[in-house]
Amino acid sequence: MAVAATSPAIQASGLTKTFGKVVAVDGVDLALERGRIYGALGPNGSGKTTLIRLLTGLARPTAGYASILGLRMPSREALARIGYMTQSDGVYPELTVGENLRFFASMYGSAGGDAGREMLDLVELSDRLATPAYELSGGLRRRLSLACALAHRPSVVFLDEPTVGVDPALRVQFWAYFRRLASDGTTLLVSSHVLDEADRCDDLVFMRAGRIIARGSGAELRSQAGTDDLEDAFLRLAGAAAEPGAEREPGAERER
Amino acid sequence: MSPRRIGAIARRIAQQFRHDPRTLALLFVVPLFIIALLAWILGAQQAMEVRVVVVDPTPGGRIAAALATAGTEHGITSVTTAASAEEAEALLRDDSADVALIVPADLIGGASGGASGTAPPTLTVMTPGVNPGSDGTAVAAVQRSLGAALAAVLPGSVTFPTVVHVTVYGSPDATTLDTFAPVFIGFFAYFFVFLLTGVSFLRERLGGTLERLLATPVTRGEIVSGYSLGFGAFASLQVAVLLAFVILQVQIPSIGPLPAFAIGLGVPSAGSPLLAYAVALLLALGAVNLGIFLSTFARTELQVIQFIPLVIVPQGLLGGIFWPVEQLPPFLQVVARLMPVTYAIEGLRAVMIVGADLTSRVLQVDLAFLAGVAILLVALATRTIRRQVV
């Protein structure tokens, strides 16, 4: 593949998206290295999902561009190496767990064999292969959705709120698996509004109103804001970035 | 184009059907049920018993008596007489008669006199005018019997010739079912396939699976092809089942307490069933892509249903199922000529009744138009699936 090994896994330059008068993503520049876990944090409506859709080439930027593994988006070549777990479950309710997994794997041209089985073990759905997705609880469907996004062993993974509705024990396993993927060279961008997950990421970007208001590791952001609490750090940094009194509720929510 | 991805999408559609028996029933059992119901209504329709009241100027009611004799074979069951048109009308009003025949007093004189310059006598037929169908049946019964009845009464003993009805295609005793059945094969294929694809694709858009699908290297051409293949396979099965049900008839002998009965309608097909199959299948392929295309303009499943009166019903009304396209008002004829269902119905009738084959000009035009519409809709459907929607 003619992709320079040195090009960043995820790159954005002046990436902007407006819907009418609303600026959803406002001039975002990113250069994310391979083999790391990045967290995009911010309240609902801060532009996290739109940013991911722009990076994956699913939305057309109003200005700027995105490239993945050095390939300017939209690119089908890049899509073959991307895994995307959408915020909605995005699985076929009538299909069984196994059929969903095989279907998405075949869209990537892989049979979904070993990686698929490994994924099913991870998300603890191996004994439910023949269960239709509509019979799964919300948390189980979330796990299936994650398995469908990872079964083709992508190099760049976008996870939009992956742990919503997933119980704490499994959440710990998810993050351990994400870490393992990263150490194998996979780049992950995880969006979340759960701040206690943030410390599991190597680097964080704080988003508010479509802009990146701060970036760095958890420790850097804490010292920058002069507080030990990440939530306080977000509020202080968000407050510093905002016009005084412009927004009533700038804080990130702890849980939905 | 990756055949593997197209195949995977088609297989997924088949799997969805397999897990959803009710939708399968909608596709296969419901059309059979409706066609069988229709066959029952049309085939075993109760013959109307026509009751005639005659205002008869002849002494002793000779016209009424002759009409009763001549009318037995045309469904006239009773003939009474009335003294005046008013009295006859009263009988129609309280539903004691279905049709009144008012014979003027000068009929006998006028007909036998035959003097040039005098206007020919006028017979009046009066009906309630509530139900055009039964009115028509009653008037036709009177008209068919009238010639023989008058011949028996009028002096000069004129012999009325017997009219024998023959047809170029089919047979004169073809039931309405023979002409309706081919049409409904096409219409059901169109309707159900449109409904299923429309809802199915809308659910892809709403459920986030389309977004996820577009995040894979799949092309939109592969998506449309996969859908056409998957739903096309089910549509072709549906058409095959319907065709077999309409054309074949299997007699089941009586077993124990069960009376003997027949499965299938046994409607004769003058032409090749394969050609009829091709016509219906082309129509159904168009319907798959119409469903994908129109699902763009719906935000809920209910809104897909709302397209039925807008898209399906006008085609049912104008397509030639009930009224020949040539009898429509000129403007509506133009509209009908733009609708695929019109051509499918024309083609199905050409094959099954006229026995047209591929050398038939009409069938060539029908097949070409249907193929053109299918290609156009594939293009439109492809355009609505966009990776970068906004």
Q: Do A109 and B4 touch (CB under 8 A)?
A: yes
Residue B112 has pLDDT above 60, yes or no: no
Q: Do B215 and A104 touch (CB under 8 A)?
A: no
Q: Do B208 and A84 touch (CB under 8 A)?
A: no
Count, in order, helices (H) and strands (E) of chain A: 8, 10
Digit-coded pLDDT (tens) for A119-151: 788 777 888 888 999 999 888 888 899 999 988
Q: Which residues on A lie below 8 Å from B213 (Cβ)?
A: 107
Strand-strand pairing, A63-68 and A71-72: antiparallel
Digit-coded pLDDT (tens) for B7-20: 999 999 999 999 88
Per-residue confidence (pLDDT) for residue B10, from 0 to 100: 94
Fold classification of A8-81+156-166+190-241 is Rossmann fold (3.40.50)
* Other CB atoms within 10 Å distance of the CB of residue B280: 28
Q: Which residues on A lie below 8 Å from B215 (Cβ)?
A: 56, 58, 79, 82, 84, 86
Digit-coded pLDDT (tens) for B277-324: 999 889 988 888 888 888 888 888 888 888 888 888 888 888 888 888
Query: How far is Cα B62 from Cα B144, in angstroms, rounded to an integer?
Result: 18
Q: Which residues on A lie below 8 Å from B6 (Cβ)?
A: none
Assess A76–B contact: CB distance below 8 Å, yes or no.
yes
Digit-coded pLDDT (tens) for B30-54: 888 888 888 887 776 667 788 999 8
DSSP A21-68: TEEEEEEEEEEEPTT-EEEEE--TTSSHHHHHHHHTTSS--SEEEEEE
CB A146 within 8 A of CB A90: no
Q: Which residues, in sequence order, are bridge partners of residue A83?
A: A157
On average, the pLDDT of chain A sits at: 83
Q: Do A88 and B207 touch (CB under 8 A)?
A: yes
Assess A59–B contact: CB distance below 8 Å, yes or no.
yes
Assess: ipTM above 0.90.
Answer: no
Digit-coded pLDDT (tens) for A13-60: 989 998 888 888 888 898 999 999 999 988 888 888 899 999 998 888
**Residue A159: closest C-alpha in chain B:** B212
Name the amino acid, one letter, at B258: L
Per-residue confidence (pLDDT) for residue B63, from 0 to 100: 83
Query: How far is Cα A239 from Cα B3, in angstroms, rounded to an integer?
Result: 54
Compute φ and ψ for B186, nearest 5 degrees.
-65, -45
Per-residue confidence (pLDDT) for residue B105, from 0 to 100: 78
* Other CB atoms within 10 Å distance of the CB of residue B358: 12
Domains present along chain B, CATH in parentheses: 3-43+173-384 (no CATH), 50-153 (3.40.190)
CB B270 within 8 A of CB B170: yes
Assess A65–B contact: CB distance below 8 Å, yes or no.
no
Nearest to B388 among A57, A95, A149 (CB): A57
